[in-house]
Amino acid sequence: MSKPRVSLVRCSTYDLEAVEAAICQALEPFGGMSAFVQPGQRVLLKPNLLRAVPPEKAATTHPAIVAAVARLVFEAGGQPFVVESSGGPFIARWMSAVYKATGMTWASEVSGVPLNEDFRSANVPHPEGALLHRLDVVHPLTEADVVINLPKFKTHNLVGLTLAVKNLFGLIPGTTKVAYHSKLQDRSLFCEGLLDIYTYVKPALNIMDAIIGMEGEGPSGGDPREMGLLLASPDGLAMDTVCAALVSLEPTAVLTTRRAVARGLTSGRLEDIEIVGEELEAVRIADFRMGIEMPIDPGLAKGPLRAILQRVSSGEALEGHRRPGLGARLSRWLGNQMVAAPHAGPKCIGCGFCARHCPVNAITIVNRKAVMDLSKCIRCYCCHELCPETAVELRKPWLGRLLSRG
């Protein structure tokens, strides 16, 4: 059986012609865009359009990526269209503001690719799903012949990095995402759900925007980081494995990849992947700043505490396992100590957006400021991710800070 292949090329600018040339170079080992798109096929382009922010914030897929891919799809005879359901309602007025702010309107103008105007939802069967046997998806997905996944390289405080697999969560319509977070309250179950979405969508091609990524408190509150890279692969899990290695992470530190390994969807090992183009070591980033939720080193503790921390850091303590007695209570308490909690910072204006989109109704507005009930909070970080003012701060309790010290 041949190894999955990931193409890795340099690209240091978002100049449209340079981006298109770099994407052509990345696709050359696979036979070009025509290897994925046949004449007349409807091709859904799925960027990351988290919310209405400008491209320079590095929270969304850059419009030059979308425009360049659309042009190549047109050249191959396909009919591309851009589809995304960002954080917030899946309605025309909301998405129009997102398209404009993120540069998708410009991408449409320069490439001719239409932006989705169908805001219906569909409920579809997924018999092969491990956890989700039916999915709520945006209706345009059901009319696509091909899906091209266009994720943005970013940190993510819930899963480590948001890459190819996580990007497809944007095909769940609007505030239905809140219901999914509520149903899949722990991180590992949430990632199982993400993998079910990935195995349903089956993107034919994944192209990663890593020209400028986001480090720190992603996926919306971090800092832009120049990386100068594009990646392409028909295998999103292989791409996610390479992306983790690019920033000097063990691939299974990304929780979606860890769960995919457990399900036998991928090995999560670099040696099982063929990387073409640039040498990984030549472009590896050693000082990429992760978010607050990356696992701590259990070696900082001794004896029984170390064993518990090993479970917490591996995500096992958050998988819904319940042990009787003191051990279970201690494990849950330690788990909460390791996990950051959201708080409204000084930039909070009390707009109520976080309260309306909290899946467990753990937020109220008091004296024009958001107040989080941490006894209800499930640490899904929707409030941090979606806050229009980036006013929600993630703070780790004292024990977590103590054990995280280098």
Res. 405: pLDDT tops 60 = no
Q: Is residue 290 part of a domain?
A: no
Measured CA distances, 84 to 11, 60, 191, 343, 386 (Å): 25, 11, 20, 28, 15
pLDDT in tens, 196-222: 999 999 999 999 999 999 999 889 889
Over residues 304-332, the mean pLDDT reads 47
Q: Is residue 292 part of a domain?
A: no
Structural domain span for residue 309: 297-338
Over residues 86-106, the mean pLDDT reads 95
Q: CB neighbours of 372 closer than 8 A, spacing ≥ 6?
A: 341, 342, 343, 344, 362, 363, 383
Same domain? 321 vs 183: no
Task: Give the number of domains in the chain.
Answer: 3
Res. 178: pLDDT tops 60 = yes
Confidence band for 183, pLDDT divided at 50, 70 and 90: confident
DSSP 3-state assignment of 116? Answer: coil
Residue type present at position 374: L
Confidence band for 304, pLDDT divided at 50, 70 and 90: low
Res. 315: pLDDT tops 70 = no
Res. 349: pLDDT tops 70 = yes
Structural Rg of the chain based on CA atoms: 21
Same domain? 102 vs 190: yes
More confident: 327 or 252: 252
Same domain? 259 vs 176: yes
Q: Is residue 288 part of a domain?
A: no
Could you give the dihedral angle defined by the CA atoms of residues 255, 257, 262 and 266, in that order, rounded to the nearest 10 degrees?
180
Same domain? 269 vs 331: no
Res. 226: pLDDT tops 50 = yes
Q: Is residue 249 part of a domain?
A: yes
Work out whether the CA dihedral 241, 246, 248, 253 comes out positive or negative: negative
pLDDT in the model for residue 23: 98
- Tokens standing for residue 323: 């042990």
Q: Is residue 77 part of a domain?
A: yes
Q: Is residue 289 part of a domain?
A: no
pTM assigned to the model:
0.83
Could you give the dihedral angle defined by the CA atoms of residues 52, 54, 60 and 63, in that order, rounded to the nearest 10 degrees?
110
Same domain? 200 vs 73: yes
Same domain? 311 vs 370: no
CATH of the domain at 382: 3.30.70.20
Under 8 Å between Cβ of 6 and 232? yes
Same domain? 102 vs 209: yes
Same domain? 312 vs 374: no
Res. 320: pLDDT tops 60 = no
Confidence band for 342, pLDDT divided at 50, 70 and 90: very high
Confidence band for 291, pLDDT divided at 50, 70 and 90: confident
- Distance CA(107)–CA(67), nearest Å, equals 5
Same domain? 144 vs 22: yes
More confident: 337 or 156: 156
**Nearest CA among 4, 201, 185 for reference residue 83:** 201
CATH of the domain at 156: 3.40.50.11440
Q: Is residue 44 part of a domain?
A: yes
Q: Is residue 374 part of a domain?
A: yes
Same domain? 188 vs 67: yes
Res. 68: pLDDT tops 80 = yes
Residue type present at position 337: Q
Under 8 Å between Cβ of 365 and 164? no
Same domain? 198 vs 323: no
pLDDT in the model for residue 406: 39
pLDDT in the model for residue 31: 98
Measured CA distances, 199 to 35, 49, 168, 192, 221 (Å): 21, 21, 10, 11, 29
Under 8 Å between Cβ of 173 and 23? no
Same domain? 68 vs 209: yes
pLDDT in the model for residue 29: 98
pLDDT in the model for residue 276: 98
